[in-house]
Homo-oligomer: A and B are copies of this chain.
Amino acid sequence: MAEGTPAVARPAKVIVGAEELKAMVAGIFAARGATAVNAGAVADALVWANLRGVDSHGVSRVTRYLELFDKGESDPNAMPTVTRPRVAIAIVDAHAAPGPVAMIRAADEAVTCAREAGIGWASIRGTVHTGAIGYYASRIADAGMAAVGVVAGVPNMAYVGAKGAAVATSPLSVAVPAGKHELVLLDMATAVMALGRIAQLKAAGKELPPGVALTADGEPTTDPALAKVPTPVGGAKGAGMSLVFEMLASGLAANPIVSSYHSGTREGRRHRQNAFLLAIDIAAFLPLAEFTATIDDTVDAIKSLPPAADTDEILMPGERGRHTARDRAASGIPLGPKVWRELTGIATALDVPVPATPKLN
Interface residues of A (CB under 8 A from B): 1, 85-89, 91, 116-121, 123, 146, 159-164, 166-167, 172, 174, 176, 184, 186, 188, 192, 218-219, 233-234, 236-238, 240-241, 243-244, 246-248, 250-254, 256, 258-259, 261-263, 278, 280-282, 284-286, 290-291, 294-295, 297-298, 300-302, 304-309, 311, 313-317
Query: Chain B residues with Cβ under 8 A from A146's Cβ?
Result: 247-248, 251-252
Q: Are A86 and B302 in contact (CB under 8 A)?
A: no
For residue A307, give the distance in angstroms from its CB to the closest CB of chain B: 6
| Contact pick for A254, options B188, B256, B290, CB 8 Å | B290
For residue A272, give the distance in angstroms from its CB to the closest CB of chain B: 15
Q: What is the count of identical protomers in the complex?
A: 2
Query: Chain B residues with Cβ under 8 A from A121's Cβ?
Result: 118-119, 280
Query: Chain B residues with Cβ under 8 A from A309's Cβ?
Result: 218-219
What is the CA–CA distance of A189 and B120 in the complex, to the nearest angstrom? 26
Check A162/B306 contact, CB under 8 A, given A184-B243, A243-B298: yes
Q: Are B85 and A88 in contact (CB under 8 A)?
A: no
Name the CB-closest residue of B to A285. Answer: B252
Q: Are A285 and B88 in contact (CB under 8 A)?
A: no
What is the CA–CA distance of A311 and B217 in the complex, to the nearest angstrom? 13
| Contact pick for A118, options B86, B162, B167, B281, CB 8 Å | B86
Name the CB-closest residue of B to A91. Answer: B285
What is the CA–CA distance of A322 and B243 in the complex, to the nearest angstrom? 18
Can you list 15 A-B pairs with a CB-CB distance of less than 8 A? Answer: A1-B237, A86-B116, A86-B117, A89-B285, A161-B313, A161-B315, A162-B308, A163-B307, A164-B305, A164-B306, A174-B248, A176-B244, A186-B243, A233-B234, A252-B280
